[in-house]
Structure 1
Amino acid sequence: MKKIFLSLALIPLLGLGMNAQKPNIQHIAPKSWWAGMNDSKLQILLHGTNLKNYKVDIKAKGIKLLEVAHEDNPNYAILYLDTQGAPAQDFSIILTDAKGKTYPIAYKLDARKANASEIQGFDSSDVLYLIMPDRFANGDPKNDYVKGLYQDKVDRQNGSARHGGDLLGIQQHLDYFKDLGVTALWLNPVQENNMPEGSYHGYAITDYYEVDPRFGGNEAFRNFVTQARSRGLKVVMDMIFNHCGTENYLFKDMPSKNWFNFDGKYTQTTYHTAVQSDPYATEYAKKLAIDGWFVASMPDFNQRNRHVEKYLIQNSIWWIEYAGIQGIRQDTHPYADFDMMSRWCQAIHKEYPKYNIVGETWLNSNVLVSYWQKDSRLAAPRNSGLPTVMDFPLMGLMNQAFDEKTEDWHGGFSKLYEYLSQDIVYANPNSLLTFLDNHDTDRFAKNEELARNANRYKQALAFLLTTRGIPQIYYGTEVLMSGNKSKGDGYVRTDFLGGWQGDKRSYFDPQQRTKEEQEAYTYTQKLLKWRQGNKVISQGSLRHQTPRGGVYVYQRSLGDKHVSVVFNGRDEASKIDWEYWANLLPQAEAKDIISGQTIDIKKLGELAPRQTLILEY
């Protein structure tokens, strides 16, 4: 029989003796809050036993109790407080039963850190490194088994099981990321995921205020973020507001049926989120797509419920204040309620004006993706407020272009040219998250044969790191990790070798990498280090022309500084048409970042098969 897991950290928070039977508080959300927030209205959700039977009051300095809301389920009391002008303090929430007996619950209003509202989010000067925590490194084998949780064993031979990776394992390799040259770490969800199956990936959250103890718990996460930031590495936290896991207490003991869509009864989404912008979509089609459940084990939140909205908004703010995360990646963004998610973005930016959020906008058209970006002309008068969207259409094209022959009108780089020429649909093309692959797709190297194609990798990475947008690299790409989803997701989420004691070799050790892996790593490191602080690439304009004779060139410029990126999109040598490309190329010698050589492009004449040049001048 499954045992109920209750964080030990919660016990002193409750202020209840071990023998207390009533009101049997099980959850308090949020666990704490801060004085001096721009939004002074605070929701505190209490979950216990028959809380509807208790009178609720507070004993605090300068805090007003505005409302106590009770839903259909008597086990909940939802408090709304006004903290405007209140000092940081410890105060009490007091529950009084019918006989006058009181039950005080300790609560803390902390002082904010200095300049907390000025936290800087990620932007186009960054390169994100995406990590699946369970599959990167096991720093603490003792937390592989946590009593009371469903999946309490590790099995590294099973792609759907937990493998034991954790936050300490990632933290122990912060210098690896720093040396590689990435500037931000995006972690797949670390929140508690106490589900019977598939808990390793984290996308069915069972407690929004707890980091999964198998990853190390809340303090381990906060310490990890602190250590990362001390090395100049930002941390982006994955969040899921569209749905939770069926083992979440909010679903198992629902405050009311309308906390979840379809009254908490499983109804499958169609996955056709284009209905959000479709001018011809029926209301029925919209309801199925938006309100339907992602899968049977992931109930869909009704974000039109005011209590749900406030709960989710506060949760993201809590993690920013508590841990200092410098970005949020919002899963399944178009599956959620457009208006509520817009208000969420506004709430974040009200507290943190320099913050960035990226939404997973998995749509196959740039027009559909652009609808979700802040200030989109296509969405007007609606406005998502979402600064960054994920460029899935470009990902699809990049997985074709570097395998194809570039002709003047089609194939290869002609596809990339044509796609970029349509950036007019985006409100801010430079705030698109660009990537070759991620945890939900085939790896860019779908098999070992493609992994051995060095020119393919080099062209792809050069394009990714020099075109517009915010690049993201999936863990292991730099050492040619390969895999595809034909046999399941686990094959694109394999372990990073060297992250576990006893691994046959280690990707962390240059001496244990193959010649091909080391070549890829060195190339990746060189480009990443060069890109750091390079405002021409992160802020500069982009100009290009249609490919000609297999050659494609674009130029990034900022003031009097320029970078020209030159590709041969063919497997044979291609001549450079100097007259055609002259306005995008240096007129004199320039340094090629890749080779380190000084090149006079006029004298070069032709490019070797699949050659790439990055010329800085």
Structure 2
Amino acid sequence: MMSIVKRILFPILFFSFLSLTSLAAKTKIERLEPEFWWIGMENPNLQLLIYGQEIGDYKATLDYPGVTIQSVQNVENVNYLFVNLQIDKSAKAGKFDITLTNSKGKELKYQYELKERRKNSSNRKGFNSSDVIYLLMPDRFANGNPENDSVDGLTEKADRANFDGRHGGDIQGIINKLDYLQDLGITTLWSTPFLEDNEEKGSYHSYAISDYYNIDARYGGNEAYLKLSKECKKRGIKLIKDMVFNHCASAHWWMKDFPQKDWVHLHDEYTNSNHRKSTLLDPHASQVDKIKFSDGWFDKSMPDLNQQNELLMTYLIQNSIWWVEYADLDGIRMDTHPYNDPQEMSKWGKALLKEYPHLNIVGETWYKNAADIAYWQKDALNADGYNSNLPCVMDFQLFFAMEKAFLEPQQWENGVVRLYNSLAADYLYKDLNNIMIFTENHDTDRIMSTLDGDLDKFKLMNTFLMTTRGIPQIYAGIEILMEGKKSYGDGKMRIDFPGGWEGDERNAFTAEGRTNKENEAFNFLQKLLQWRKVNPVVHTGKLKHYIPENDVYVYFRFNNEKTVMIVLNNGSEKQELSLDRFSENIKDFTKGYDILSEQTIQFSNGKLRLNGNTSMVLELK
């Protein structure tokens, strides 16, 4: 069978690189990216990608104080021109013409704009361990504008009856629910990608991006995204943008007409990534296995971008900076981070942090052990000297531990000992406060399916999540015990939030629309989140834990102002816990206020009575 690359991409490339002078179409500037920029950036250099038929035959000029053309770069495809500008500190905000002229004297003009940067833009504070992050998939959360469910020019139309189709959730739907999130105690919003995904099917997940500068019109477009950012800021909610640089969509506009042959990784026949992330860190790995991992395609609809192409990498770096400035972002989440070229992504992180020193960036680091995850954190003490310039990593090791810990009785390695052992590897991390922790996300089984709907285990797990080190992230619907398994298929696992669509049978965004069990879960999580929000001791306080005994895991969070004792009884039986063992943390404290039961517990008899399958969060007095 002929490969997709041979049947589709190579003929397109061959046609694209032919001289097009025989075609009568009129030359025009079809795309210029980025379409505007800002003065006052730390890096004065700006690369413009200009696309149009035979645009490479044109020369560029401009006349604007403080802005000069450093070079004009032609590539093998005559339909592209790359213009490199230098924007001095003396440049003022304003508009000016970029004039393109060919050998026959024909002129094309593009009015370019330099804007003022946002006030205190470079000093923006990113998300951190004081936050709780709420992850959602916009297509499955809430539909605020049914008129944009299907849009002319975008292939896939809304079909809510199709589990794998688009359901119509959008940005306005999220804006409508921001008060709900604020009431729950959320401080940061992370949505899966909003950028245009014009694939024929399955585009609801938006991880196959077909336009890096435009929010999908079915979500509401760029203006709606700006509105979301402003509405979040009004409520003190930070905004993280999900970005995807390892691959684009097969429907991306440049896939029909590459700037250069090495813009994406092409193979003699279709080659899928082997998905063996270990090859990057394995000192014994073969080159052929490394290349298949890094250069193979993530999926047939997701061509692998060649980040070693300098023009492409500059394009991607500028795109990230553009979105941070344009949308007033508080953070970035980079999809499939290790799949990207490590050295080029290190440059990407360095460039972002140069413009925004306090911005936080988290990478998806899907490994099962802490050593592999810690390798990717900025300033890690790696034997090979590699520095990712990625401040935050995702703790999948702890995720896998939590997935099993609360379902098992304690043995040497099982039960809540899994949590203890996972955190015992924290010596590997450079920054313990800058690690994202979670019990589920859009790519995993819903935790309530894993827990078989057990509300007590839900409470234990979330108590741990909100009181251990790191930055907690929860996934939309956990607060109402939503279930789902990957074995059902991704579309069936990622079900709509009940009440997000007009005409839904119930509205779980309201207490009246939730069952008693769902309200108990919501109220429990809300209490934890609202308490956590105002208690710095669990944001950056020290952590000391004690080896679990008899299914009981005890640990402390403490600083100079406060000490909190957390007790997790993962056993089904009542127990009496002797406090003597914990004297180095309890010290002279004589009682504790349990924020969950709202009761004060005296320590006078040296014992602590525990109910089965319960947690306590004791503020020591």
Q: Taking structure 2 as the reference length, what is the TM-score of the superposition?
A: 0.93
Inter-partner Cα distance in structure 2 for 1:534 and 1:366: 27
* Alpha carbons of structure 1 residues 203 and 564: separation in structure 2 relative to 1, 3 Å: same
Please say if residues 550 and 574 of structure 1, whose CA atoms lie closer than 8 Å, have aligned partners that are also in contact.
no
Q: Distance in 1 between matches of 2:618 and 2:541?
A: 15
In the superposition, relative to structure 1, how do residues 584 and 566 fare at CA in structure 2: closer, same or farther (>3 Å)? farther
Among 207, 210, 229, which residue is 1:206 paired with? 210
User: Which residue is equivalent to 1:588?
Assistant: 590
Equivalence for 1:10: none
Partners of 1:577 and 1:288 in 2: CA distance = 56
Bigger shift: residues 108-117 or 584-593: 584-593
Alpha-carbon distance in 2 for matches of 1:228, 1:402: 35
SS in 2 for 1:547: strand
Counterpart CA distance in 2 for 1:264 and 1:613 is 60
CA RMSD of aligned residues (A): 1.5
Match for residue 359 of structure 2 among 352, 355, 359: 355
CA deviation map 1:512-532 (0-9, x unaligned): 100000000000000000000
- The superposition leaves residues 442-473 of structure 1 with CA deviations (integer Å, 9 ceiling, x where unpaired) of 011126x722x111000000000000000000
Matched, 1:134 2:139: yes
Q: Secondary structure at the match of 2:65?
A: coil
- 1:330-379 Cα shifts (integer Å, max 9, x gaps): 00100001111111111111001110000001111111111111111135
- The one-character-per-residue Cα deviations of 1:475-511 (angstroms, maximum 9, x if unpaired) are 0000100110112111221101111000000111101
Q: In the alignment, which residue of structure 1 is the partner of 2:486? A: 485
* 8 Å contact from structure 1 (residues 146, 214) kept in 2: yes
Once the two structures are superposed, residues 555-598 of structure 1 have per-residue CA deviations (whole angstroms, 9 ceiling, x without a partner) of 00111411110011211123313222333447311100101100
SS in structure 2 of the partner of residue 320 of structure 1: helix
Distance 1:492 1:388 in 2: 27
Structure 2 residue 333 is matched with structure 1 residue 329: yes
1:429·1:468 contact (CA, 8 Å) conserved in 2?
A: yes
Q: Distance in 1 between matches of 2:383 and 2:563?
A: 35
Query: Would the alpha carbon gap of residues 133 and 476 (structure 1) be closer, same or farther in structure 2, given more than 3 Å must change?
Result: same
1:257 aligns with one of 256, 261, 265: 261
Instruction: Confirm or deny that 1:197 pairs with 2:201.
Output: yes
Contact 2:193 2:205 (8 Å CA) reproduced: yes
**Shift of the alpha carbon at 1:380?**
4.5
> Judging changes above 3 Å, is the alpha-carbon distance between structure 1 residues 97 and 192 closer, same or farther for their aligned structure 2 residues?
same
8 Å CA contact 1:258, 1:264 repeated in 2: no
Which residue in 1 is equivalent to 2:554? 553
CA distance in 1, matches of 2:403, 2:67: 56
Letter in 2 for 1:425: L
Deviation at 1:155, TM superposition (A): 1.7
Residue aligned with 1:416, SS? helix
How far the C-alpha of 1:395 sits from its partner, in A, is: 0.6
**Cα contact 2:29–2:108 (8 A) shared by 1:** no
Distance 2:67 2:150 in 1: 42
Partner of 1:3: none
CA contact (8 A) 1:388 1:431 kept: yes
Separation in 2 of the partners of 1:478 and 1:42?
45
1:309 partnered with 2:310 = no
**Structure 1: 5+ residue stretches without partners:** 1-19
1:179-328 matches, cutoff 5 A: 179-262=183-266, 266-328=270-332
**1:410 corresponding residue in structure 2:** 413
Residues 555 and 585 in structure 1, CA contact (< 8 A), matched pair in contact too: no
**Aligned counterparts of 2:576 and 2:161: Cα–Cα separation in 1:** 50
Q: Deviations over 1:128-173 (max 9, x none)?
A: 0001000000000000121111102x22222210000000000011
Equivalent pair of 1:221/1:323 in contact (CA under 8 Å): yes
CA distance in 1: counterparts of 2:583 and 2:121, whole angstroms: 49
User: Following TM superposition, by how much is the alpha carbon of 1:253 offset from its aligned partner in structure 2, in angstroms?
Assistant: 1.1
Letter in 2 for 1:31: E
Q: Distance in 2 between matches of 1:308 and 1:263?
A: 19
Q: Secondary structure at the match of 2:581?
A: helix
**TM-score, with normalisation over the residues of structure 1?**
0.94
Instruction: Tell whether 2:177 aligns with 1:177.
Output: no
Q: Do the aligned partners of 1:52 and 1:76 also contact (CA within 8 Å) in 2?
A: yes
Q: Distance in 2 between matches of 1:255 and 1:379?
A: 38
SS in 2 for 1:357: strand
Q: Which of 129, 138, 149 is the matching residue for 2:154?
A: 149
Q: Is the alpha carbon distance of 1:547 and 1:148 closer, same or farther for their aligned partners in structure 2, counting shifts above 3 Å?
A: same
Structure 1 residue 112 displacement after superposition:
1.1
State the percentage of identical aligned residues.
44
User: Any conservation in 2 of the 1:357–1:388 contact (CA below 8 Å)?
Assistant: yes
Query: What CA distance in whole angstroms lies between the structure 1 residues aligned with 2:45 and 2:271?
Result: 34
Aligned to 2:4: none
Q: Distance in 2 between matches of 1:375 and 1:574?
A: 44
When residues 495 and 405 of structure 1 are mapped into structure 2, their CA distance, relative to the original with a 3 A threshold, is same
Tell me the distance in 2 between the aligned counterparts of 1:248 and 1:465: 40
- Return the match for 2:403 from 399, 404, 410: 399
User: Do 1:574 and 1:609's aligned partners in 2 also have CA atoms closer than 8 Å?
Assistant: yes
- 1:443 aligned to which of 431, 443, 446: 446
* Aligned: 1:104 with 2:109: yes
Among 63, 67, 70, the residue aligned to 2:74: 70
Match of 2:349 in 1: 345
Between 351-360 and 426-435, the greater mean CA deviation after superposition: 426-435
Q: 1:162 to 1:446 in 2, by over 3 A?
A: same
One-letter code of the match for 2:356?
Answer: Y
Query: 1:11 — aligned with what?
Result: none
**Partner-residue secondary structure (3-state), 1:147:** coil
Change (3 A) 1:290 1:75: same
Deviations, residues 84-110 of structure 1 (Å, cap 9, x unaligned): 122112111111122212111111111
Distance in 1 (alpha carbons) for counterparts of 2:179 and 2:413: 43
Report the Cα distance in structure 2 between the residues aligned to 1:289 and 1:354, rounded to whole angstroms.
32
2:577 match? 576
Matched, 1:421 2:390: no
Q: Matches of 1:374 and 1:99 in 2, distance apart?
A: 52
Query: Cα deviation per residue 1:47-71 (whole Å; 9 max; x = unaligned)?
Result: 1111112122223222111111122
Q: Secondary structure at the match of 1:289?
A: helix
**Counterpart Cα distance in 2 of 1:91 and 1:149:** 33
How do 1:430-469 residues align onto structure 2 when only pairs under 5 Å count? 430-446=433-449, 450-451=452-453, 453-469=454-470
Q: Which amino acid aligns with 1:296?
A: K
